Structure 1
Amino acid sequence: MFGIFDKGQKIKGTVVLMPKNVLDFNAITSIGKGGVIDTATGILGQGVSLVGGVIDTATSFLGRNISMQLISATQTDGSGNGKVGKEVYLEKHLPTLPTLGARQDAFSIFFEWDASFGIPGAFYIKNFMTDEFFLVSVKLEDIPNHGTIEFVCNSWVYNFRSYKKNRIFFVNDTYLPSATPAPLLKYRKEELEVLRGDGTGKRKDFDRIYDYDVYNDLGNPDGGDPRPILGGSSIYPYPRRVRTGRERTRTDPNSEKPGEVYVPRDENFGHLKSSDFLTYGIKSLSHDVIPLFKSAIFQLRVTSSEFESFEDVRSLYEGGIKLPTDILSQISPLPALKEIFRTDGENVLQFPPPHVAKVSKSGWMTDEEFAREVIAGVNPNVIRRLQEFPPKSTLDPTLYGDQTSTITKEQLEINMGGVTVEEALSTQRLFILDYQDAFIPYLTRINSLPTAKAYATRTILFLKDDGTLKPLAIELSKPHPDGDNLGPESIVVLPATEGVDSTIWLLAKAHVIVNDSGYHQLVSHWLNTHAVMEPFAIATNRHLSVLHPIYKLLYPHYRDTININGLARQSLINADGIIEKSFLPGKYSIEMSSSVYKNWVFTDQALPADLVKRYLL
């Protein structure tokens, strides 16, 4: 009797999705190559109407274009697996809900249900359209004896033929593996197998596979510009990155050809705000824009593309760079970019002045500001309290000779106000900013480049009674001309305020800043912030189901990491990329970060362990 009444019962669902967006980041990387136009044309070619310049996205989803099947979390199919319901299709387009974001559309769907099905815990979804769409969420209402069920999806869904197994989404609940409803165990396991892949083949745009690989795609061996493979060896250890599976180079079968990088589809930047679109669009053109700027600056300066005075630097903050209109026309591929690049060439690159320069144009030159920036500047992660004097090195003396500091107690005590080195050590008042071991192994090669000449630096600082730091001495070291194994050639520079000595002291501080900024970008920032996080993101997606509570805890912390790292391999850390062009180590930049990674220890990274390791706590 009750079965007769239950037979026709339906569960109402609301499906929220976004269509493929013409402002999607993957489309704007082909600006100037028909990327945006081609994408729009592709959508229009599928019967989507364009009214008043706005794409009517709802039209393309009406009809039998998207199907779904519920999977029970409480009832099995006889084999112990959750029962799969009947396939149903999206129905009418709902009025835009006030809680929906831009370009999100809501659709209704109705599932047949009876008491023998139980409570839904997952669903299959199929996309029968050519274009992918972004599935935001699904909400099931008025489930008998249960109420409402939410599915938070946030995933791209491609045509069903793109997948070997149906796309599945799980309820927005958390379960440890041991506590997962038994009917869902098979589906949980299969989804993780899909995400792991089999480690073979070239990855496609629609793939969702998280697999490991070494950094073997930074160089261009076939173009005569190789780089060492980072990772997989004790010589060049490195964190893993997402495997792409591209073709190997002819010259080096262990290296991948440079080109477009793969990242799992849901890691790609999605629907962007207009301002984000402009920003990332410019970044995607960096390989064209930077040479054009160099050309423009060279034209404006006539003889040199480098800064020749402090006034040249200040002009970036006070007047910007005024580019000729012919240069502007080349770096403005879309009219929308006029928001950033003014067509009249006025103040194209005018930067906001640093606060210290607002107070005093020469304030950055003082010892007080130099010492302040050691802990309040871009890289406060290296300074440590001095434990012994003179400072020693951890470099192998058979390879690099005796790297013990040549700074003397007498040199330091000149500016310590009557305090001895021994007293300062015992009262925890001496600190060191030490880049000797990081730079010395690479200085011979760095200084052979036509673009740079540098020292490795050690800076000793004294904690004054007022709680501020004071630089006492800077040691500048370079390898012995007859061989690195003979030890460094070092000079010690002391603070000075007048004459030639003051200029030498200023130059010594400049060498410290060059070491500091390069180390910050290559190690503190790129290596310790970006690169080391990627294998954790990969592992989490390979081994923790979306149902796992730890997955939900970690996922927000990985946002955009894999995608940003992939973009970095294309234009930032690659051979002749922005990093190599902009920072001291040049072509040895990322190799140098590999050398530092040899001493990387996971448990040392967080506070308070990091402070304890540097004797700051």
Structure 2
Amino acid sequence: MGSFGKLLISSSTIAGVKSRSTTAASSDQFGFSVSVGGLGRRNGSFARCSGGNRRMRRREGVFFASMKVDHHIQPAMVMGEHMQPAMVIEEQMLPAICAEFTILATVNVRRSKKESFKDRVSNRLDAMAEIVGRNVSLMVISTDIDPETKVAKRTEEVSVRRWFEKRKSRDEKDESENMTYTVELTVNNNFGTPGAIVVTNRHQKEFYLESIAVEGFASGIVHFNCNSWIQSSSKDAPRKRVFFSDKPYLPSETPPGLNKFREEELKALRGDGTGERKSSDRIYEFDTYNDLGNPDRGKDWVRPTLGGQELPYPRRLRTGRPPMKTDLHAESRVEAPLPMYVPRDEAFEEGKKETLDKQNTKAMLHVLVPSLVSTSEECHDFKSLHEMDGLYKAGLIFKNGLQTDLLKKIPFFCKLQESEAHLRYDTPSILTRDKLAWIRDDEFARQVVAGINPVSIERVKVFPPVSKLDPEMYGPPESSIREEDITGFLDGMSVADAVKENKLFMLDYHDIFLPFLDRINSQDGRKSYATRTLFFLTSLGTLKPIAIELCLPPGTSESRLKRVLTPPMDATSTWIWQLAKAHVCSNDAGVHQLINHWLRTHASMEPFILSAHRQLSALHPIFKLLQPHMRYTLEINSLARQILINGKGVIESYFTPGSVSMEMSAAAYRNTYRFDQENLPDDLVRRGMAVPDPTQPHGLKLLMEDYPYANDGLMIWSAIKNWVTTYVNAHYHDDASIEYDVELQNWYSEAVNVGHADTRDEPWWPRLSTSEDLIGILTTVIWVSSAQHAALNFGQYPLGGYMPNRPPLMRRLIPDETDPEYKNFIANPEKFFLSCLPSMMQATKLMTVIDTLSTHSEDEEYLGERGKQTYSWTPEIAEAFNVYATEIRRVEEEIEKRNENSELRNRCGAGVLPYQLLMPSSGPGITARGIPNSVTI
């Protein structure tokens, strides 16, 4: 009988039978007939049985059949192994009674909030086509193999009824985003457990399938979280989509009925490396960064390919677009607003698109008026700091003298004046508590450990600092900073003692910038140094800058190739010192954007995402763990190639390195990137900011106690690692199961050997042989995708939206007494300072971009939230996640306490901004807080 078990009849229901024992019974003995329904739906609902005209009802795992006993309807119990005192009808009677039963599939489809005219036309055509059978259908696949056909057991393909009738009804009556359909399917009583569902869409238009739930089996409801766009299927391009149940399986544990589907689904996602990808595809392939330039537009638009022996770089998503006409190795470009290819399910959802659309509209208004100002005046620079403040106060039209009689006669500009508030920029956080904080040395130093690039500071281990560059090309390796330059700023300590007692710290951008300075400074409107900045750790736990070294490459016409500046003593040196700090910030902004932000979070994670989709089945528990941390990353990286890191894009236009920007990024990948040091503890040790300490929860002792990024980050890191450890140990019970997990090994191998092909032979790549290895790799991937990216991204506008605080672009070098510009500097230092910073047009355009990049969308999913991936976890995994979520909430509470602790002067004090960039939760908008699960912007 299999899954039916036995038909048991409670002795108390049968007239004349008083025994409490269980005895065999027959219909002749008791004089009744039975019509047994199949295994029914959930508690209190019914399922029909094709073997009879009665229904059976399930209560609390017991199935009731209607039966006639002495002309009265009484309940009987159908049970499996668990026997209770009752009369038994022999098992062999049942197959003849009922061979099939009905199950119910509940299908949840998300509808679009806004439908275009084209969508409405397609819906009407599809509604008519349903009459002739062009519809949406389902087929349920069992985990078992049919012994006769040798393939997985399956139901017949059944159509979803009333698709458009229900859509019309929903549109009229309900504003919710989802529509629910029910489908009845018939299965044999030995069908087994549902393991997959095949969905076919014969409509012309795609639809978004959120989930399917199948009811009617003794095992309970089987959930299928789909969250995928279902493309149209045709005779020429049949597109049957397979979705697996939420239950994870390692490859070796895959039920026999699912093995073939598991393999075929992965094969479909890998593609064959040929052809141009269509927007409806769901193929993940690797390629080099050969689409950043546009040689067909001329020599100035040529950019080298990133990826390969000459310029090593991680790989990106392949699109297969045709080559350029003038360079067959360069892929043709797709310019905004036309979309670049990403697999359909990687594209932004409606909520995210709405946020970006709002930001784009705001951006157009913000850029429009400065453009008019620039074309209406001879001087494009800000005339004063007060004028720059006008961007956030009085409004652009009035403040910049555009209220002429001519413009007042133009209706469009009348409307702009009426909505003046929409043209103002939001006031950056750096100005909200103390508008002059950016001038002070203590704030300059504080942002090194609590700003938007807190990952560059390192402890000085050797004095003077030494370059690793070739001295034959770049001169003596030793820094020109001497002991006598800084002794007076060490609170009575010698330099040797300050180094020994871990009191000297440094921002060292010398080796990153110096090889590129000739090419940077030869570009119009760009001037830069290779800088080193020394800081002293005071007794209050804060840093103070004590020296800035400004270096130019050998052969430069400037009178001094190396210049050391120390804190000022008079008015002139105060302005010189301010200019030096601005150049340091410009170096820092370039390294932050090109290396620490783009390379180390966006670009370095893309190979792991591509390989996960190609090598890890949706059934794999590690894929389910990683899925929330891959959301939107491929789409945002594609947009970056289109408008941010491309030739003459935002980064080149508004950051000092200009056209050599991505070559600098590639040089950093070659010289400094190491995946094994991308985890927070090892990164802190590498930079000398911490030493191992087994007594600490995270195993480290910070050498600078008030280091907000590190203090908060280590709590987040520990929470992620604890969660990953429990998850991994729940699915892998020994190291052998990790070594012999083919999908897992292929994922990591492909991410390294293909996705990071140019560094694949480096000895520092971690092995993947033990559970400890796997936990470390996964924790690093999740940390980088979530907390590390949040710390480097969401403070961009709050701290960088005011150009004097953090100028990304410098246009002049610092003059000395022999320079012709020195007289202008002395006559009006404020005007000279502003002429070094980005122009009004450059500033406002960049402010518009980083405003968007700093914004959380309405549909953001944050660390410690399950989001859409609501899998049917085992109690052990569910409890582990609850512990993880609780730990994340405790981290937030602890950060709030730290931000109110007056002893922590890097995050609390008069005019001091609290450090919130690693605060896990956030609302939408620019909040300078919130850790999304993935790189979403």
| TM class by smaller structure | 0.7 to 0.9
CA distance in 1, matches of 2:148, 2:472: 70
Instruction: Tell me, yes or no, if structure 1 residue 614 matches structure 2 residue 684.
Output: no
Find the counterpart in structure 1 of residue 227 from structure 2.
Answer: 154
Instruction: Tell me, yes or no, if structure 1 residue 17 matches structure 2 residue 109.
Output: yes
Describe the shift of the 1:462–1:101 C-alpha distance in structure 2 as closer, same or farther (beyond 3 A).
farther
Letter of the aligned partner of 2:674 in structure 1?
V
Find the counterpart in structure 1 of residue 331 from structure 2.
Answer: 256
Find the counterpart in structure 1 of residue 655 from structure 2.
Answer: 583
Provide TM-score, normalisation by structure 2. 0.58
CA distance in 1, matches of 2:511, 2:211: 52
Q: Is the 8 A contact 1:58 1:105 kept in 2?
A: no
Query: Which of 148, 151, 161 is residue 81 of structure 1 equivalent to?
Result: 151
Instruction: Tell me, yes or no, if structure 1 residue 601 matches structure 2 residue 671.
Output: no
Q: Is the 8 A contact 1:73 1:118 kept in 2?
A: yes
CA distance in 1, matches of 2:373, 2:220: 66
Find the counterpart in structure 2 of residue 308 from structure 1.
Answer: 383
Describe the shift of the 1:608–1:492 C-alpha distance in structure 2 as closer, same or farther (beyond 3 A).
same
Find the counterpart in structure 2 of residue 52 from structure 1.
Answer: none
Q: Is the 8 A contact 2:553 2:561 kept in 1?
A: yes
Return the offset for 1:397. Answer: 2.4
1:486-501 equivalences in 2 (<5 Å): 489-501=561-573
1:397-416 equivalences in 2 (<5 Å): 397-416=471-490
1:181-211 deviation digits (Å, cap 9, x = unpaired)? 1110110000000000101000011110010
Instruction: Tell me, yes or no, if structure 1 residue 515 matches structure 2 residue 587.
Output: yes
Return the offset for 1:578. Answer: 1.2
Task: Say which is worse superposed, 197-206 or 490-499, in terms of deviation.
Answer: 490-499
CA distance in 1, matches of 2:135, 2:318: 33
Q: Is the 8 A contact 2:108 2:209 kept in 1?
A: yes
CA distance in 2, matches of 1:319, 1:78: 81
Find the counterpart in structure 2 of residue 66 from structure 1.
Answer: 136
1:138-287 equivalences in 2 (<5 Å): 138-143=212-217, 145-161=218-234, 163=237, 166-224=240-298, 225-233=301-309, 235-259=310-334, 260-272=339-351, 275-276=354-355, 278-279=357-358, 281-282=360-361
Q: Is the 8 A contact 1:75 1:117 kept in 2?
A: no
Find the counterpart in structure 1 of residue 446 from structure 2.
Answer: 372
Find the residue that maps to 2:386 and give its secondary structure. Answer: helix
Find the residue that maps to 1:303 and give its secondary structure. Answer: coil
Find the counterpart in structure 2 of residue 319 from structure 1.
Answer: 394
Describe the shift of the 1:600–1:164 C-alpha distance in structure 2 as closer, same or farther (beyond 3 A).
farther
Instruction: Tell me, yes or no, if structure 1 residue 136 matches structure 2 residue 210.
Output: yes
Q: Is the 8 A contact 1:388 1:425 kept in 2?
A: yes
Q: Is the 8 A contact 2:284 2:317 kept in 1?
A: yes
1:7-56 deviation digits (Å, cap 9, x = unpaired)? 5521111101124564xxxxxxxxxxxxxxxx61212213549xxxxxxx
Provide structure 2 residue ranges, at least 5 long, that are not aligned to the other structure: 1-92, 691-937
Return the offset for 1:355. Answer: 4.4
Find the residue that maps to 2:110 and give its secondary structure. Answer: strand
CA distance in 2, matches of 1:273, 1:413: 53
Task: Say which is worse superposed, 71-80 or 579-588, in terms of deviation.
Answer: 71-80
Letter of the aligned partner of 2:224 in structure 1?
F
Return the offset for 1:113. Answer: 1.0
Letter of the aligned partner of 2:304 in structure 1?
P
Letter of the aligned partner of 1:67 in structure 2?
S
Q: Is the 8 A contact 1:156 1:266 kept in 2?
A: yes
1:381-423 deviation digits (Å, cap 9, x = unpaired)? 1100000011011122233232321000000112112211001
Q: Is the 8 A contact 2:365 2:423 kept in 1?
A: no
Residue identity over aligned pairs, in percent, reads 40
Describe the shift of the 1:537–1:367 C-alpha distance in structure 2 as closer, same or farther (beyond 3 A).
same
Instruction: Tell me, yes or no, if structure 1 residue 390 matches structure 2 residue 464.
Output: yes
Q: Is the 8 A contact 1:6 1:114 kept in 2?
A: no
Find the residue that maps to 1:151 and give its secondary structure. Answer: strand
Q: Is the 8 A contact 1:47 1:60 kept in 2?
A: no
1:314-463 equivalences in 2 (<5 Å): 314-322=389-397, 344=418, 346-463=420-537
Q: Is the 8 A contact 1:69 1:86 kept in 2?
A: yes
Q: Is the 8 A contact 1:401 1:488 kept in 2?
A: no
CA distance in 2, matches of 1:466, 1:385: 18
Q: Is the 8 A contact 1:192 1:543 kept in 2?
A: yes
Describe the shift of the 1:189–1:488 C-alpha distance in structure 2 as closer, same or farther (beyond 3 A).
farther
Q: Is the 8 A contact 1:267 1:563 kept in 2?
A: yes
Q: Is the 8 A contact 1:20 1:131 kept in 2?
A: no
CA distance in 2, matches of 1:78, 1:255: 54
Describe the shift of the 1:584–1:274 C-alpha distance in structure 2 as closer, same or farther (beyond 3 A).
closer
After superposition, the CA RMSD in angstroms is 3.1
Q: Is the 8 A contact 1:317 1:353 kept in 2?
A: yes
Letter of the aligned partner of 2:452 in structure 1?
V
Describe the shift of the 1:7–1:458 C-alpha distance in structure 2 as closer, same or farther (beyond 3 A).
same
Return the offset for 1:448. Answer: 0.5
CA distance in 2, matches of 1:497, 1:353: 32
CA distance in 2, matches of 1:305, 1:60: 61
Q: Is the 8 A contact 2:594 2:665 kept in 1?
A: yes
CA distance in 1, matches of 2:407, 2:97: 74
Q: Is the 8 A contact 1:80 1:182 kept in 2?
A: no
Q: Is the 8 A contact 1:393 1:403 kept in 2?
A: yes
Q: Is the 8 A contact 2:143 2:257 kept in 1?
A: yes
Q: Is the 8 A contact 2:214 2:221 kept in 1?
A: yes
CA distance in 2, matches of 1:469, 1:493: 17
Letter of the aligned partner of 2:675 in structure 1?
F
| Greater C-alpha Rg | 2
Q: Is the 8 A contact 1:322 1:347 kept in 2?
A: no
Provide TM-score, normalisation by structure 1. 0.87
Letter of the aligned partner of 1:509 in structure 2?
K
Instruction: Tell me, yes or no, if structure 1 residue 527 matches structure 2 residue 599.
Output: yes
Letter of the aligned partner of 2:471 in structure 1?
P
Describe the shift of the 1:377–1:273 C-alpha distance in structure 2 as closer, same or farther (beyond 3 A).
closer
Return the offset for 1:488. Answer: 8.6
Task: Say which is worse superposed, 212-221 or 359-368, in terms of deviation.
Answer: 359-368
Instruction: Tell me, yes or no, if structure 1 residue 40 matches structure 2 residue 113.
Output: no
Provide structure 1 residue ranges, at least 5 long, that are not aligned to the other structure: 23-38, 50-56, 333-337
Letter of the aligned partner of 1:40 in structure 2?
S
1:259-302 deviation digits (Å, cap 9, x = unpaired)? 0421111000122278525336549xx7x7787455223146x1
Q: Is the 8 A contact 1:67 1:126 kept in 2?
A: yes
CA distance in 2, matches of 1:265, 1:616: 43
